[in-house]
Structure 1
Amino acid sequence: MTRERPTALLVDLDGVLRRFDPAVAAGVERRHGLTPGVLTDIAMHWGRLQPVLVGQVSHADWLTSVADALAGPAGDREQARAAVDEWQAYRGEVDAEVLGFVREVRAAGIPVGLATNATDLLDADLAALGLADELDVVVNSSILGVHKPAKEYFRAACQALRTPPDRVLFVDDDDRMVSGARVAGLPAYRWSGPAGLRYLRAALAY
């Protein structure tokens, strides 16, 4: 049986539509005398990150927990907080090629949703990046209360797009998210860079 072509697109934010220059975090760590990579290691520790991704704590509270962990029991909390705030001031950059693709798809009448594990800062980020009006649907894990790659997350995203899962093409740069989407019934593509746009255009056939 031939699979029908997708009639909606669901894209990840970080690593697909938005990218971060690792030199920025490295510069912050260097200026504050920190071990390279320590900010990301502390912030992305799953026990600390998971609650903010499902809306159990705010973005601000998450940053406080990161600063507290960075300082340690006997460290300088003020200095640690300054480093964390400087690190967080950089909100990334939009990938112009991916944004151009999203615009093409929407212009062809195909709805595009954003599927992201994010905090309550997402709306502000999208506005600052100029993306607030570039998407038809935004599915934020911290609002939904469940994060990718849970089947419930993808079910909610498809409902928001008003499209059956087997007609929603999902794009993410993380293998676990791609696998989770496929388990939920979505055709999914593992993003590795703009070279993939040729495949996605063919898959959508617009």
Structure 2
Amino acid sequence: MIEFVYFDLGNVLWKFDEDVACANTAKVFGVAPALIRDAVYGSGLQNRFEHGGVTPRGFVDELTRSLASTRKAVSEQVVLDSLSNMFVPIEEMVMAIDAVRQKGTKVGILSNTCHSHWDWIARQEHALMSSRFDAVVLSHEVNSMKPDDQIYRAAELACHTPVDRILFLDDKEENVLAAKRRGWRAECCVGGGSAVQMLIKHNVINESWSAGGSSS
């Protein structure tokens, strides 16, 4: 019996597109999107940000220094928001999470993400985030990223649930396999119909459930 469901944030609850982030930030700095991609993702800066190894201010300072071709002055918040404004909520997951909770199962978020992405999503005040999550485990807060073992241990402590009664939905196979090695139930899928099918498979929601509502 599943007592707790952890959802990944990116591509399970919110779709995202790094090309959009690079295009947004390129406009802010007045440079080509390829330069932003190299400076943010290619350099490992984003990875360190998601690990919690660099502060938002430090992130912007490093990015600005790496773009030696521009002298344009930009604010910290504008830069962080331009990179974060690439997320689109997966609307079907609003009712899916409600259906999980209606069955008496607790829900949480387990995500590799940075401070600014989480802050931007929270400020959207979308229905997907308005429901109370019983546990939220974010890589930048625990200084560990999936599939590293440490972040799963943190998630286990946060949800107070036996490992074999945790279900985890993530869009990356390596993250799913790491959860299974710890004894979790875990499935590789994306948000929407694929995620719903996994919730049905593990009897977390009723088979007759649909995006239009849930069956009692």
> What secondary structure sits across from 1:65 in the alignment?
helix
Question: Which residue number corresponds to residue 202 of structure 2?
Answer: 203
Q: Provide the C-alpha distance between the structure 2 equivalents of 1:160 and 1:168, rounded to a whole number of angstroms.
A: 12
**1:13 offset after TM fit, Å?**
0.6
> What secondary structure sits across from 1:78 in the alignment?
coil
**129 and 100 in structure 1: CA distance in 2 versus 1, 3 angstrom threshold:** farther
Q: Provide the C-alpha distance between the structure 2 equivalents of 1:47 and 1:198, rounded to a whole number of angstroms.
A: 35
**Aligned residue type for 2:101:** R
> What secondary structure sits across from 2:202 in the alignment?
helix
TM-superposition CA deviations, 1:96-122 (whole Å, max 9, x none): 112221121112211111001122335
> What secondary structure sits across from 2:183 in the alignment?
coil
Root-mean-square deviation (CA, aligned residues, Å) is 2.9
Deviates more, 1:178-187 or 1:77-86: 77-86
Deviates more, 1:36-45 or 1:133-142: 36-45
Question: Which residue number corresponds to residue 161 of structure 1?
Answer: 159
Q: Provide the C-alpha distance between the structure 2 equivalents of 1:92 and 1:64, rounded to a whole number of angstroms.
A: 23
Q: Provide the C-alpha distance between the structure 1 equivalents of 2:4 and 2:81, rounded to a whole number of angstroms.
A: 38
**40 and 6 in structure 1: CA distance in 2 versus 1, 3 angstrom threshold:** farther
Deviates more, 1:128-137 or 1:106-115: 128-137
Asked if structure 2 preserves the Cα contact closer than 8 Å seen for 1:97 and 1:194, the reply is yes
Deviates more, 1:15-24 or 1:131-140: 15-24
Asked if structure 1 preserves the Cα contact closer than 8 Å seen for 2:21 and 2:84, the reply is no
What is the TM-score with the length of structure 2 in the denominator?
Answer: 0.77
Asked if structure 2 preserves the Cα contact closer than 8 Å seen for 1:7 and 1:204, the reply is no
**163 and 19 in structure 1: CA distance in 2 versus 1, 3 angstrom threshold:** same
Question: Where does the alignment leave 5 or more consecutive residues of structure 1 unmatched?
Answer: none
**60 and 176 in structure 1: CA distance in 2 versus 1, 3 angstrom threshold:** farther
What is the TM-score with the length of structure 1 in the denominator?
Answer: 0.80
Question: Which residue number corresponds to residue 129 of structure 1?
Answer: 124
Deviates more, 1:29-38 or 1:169-178: 29-38
**Aligned residue type for 1:76:** T
Runs of at least 4 residues off by over 6 Å: 79-83
Q: Provide the C-alpha distance between the structure 2 equivalents of 1:26 and 1:88, rounded to a whole number of angstroms.
A: 7
**186 and 85 in structure 1: CA distance in 2 versus 1, 3 angstrom threshold:** closer
**1:91 offset after TM fit, Å?**
5.2
Question: Where does the alignment leave 5 or more consecutive residues of structure 2 unmatched?
Answer: 206-216
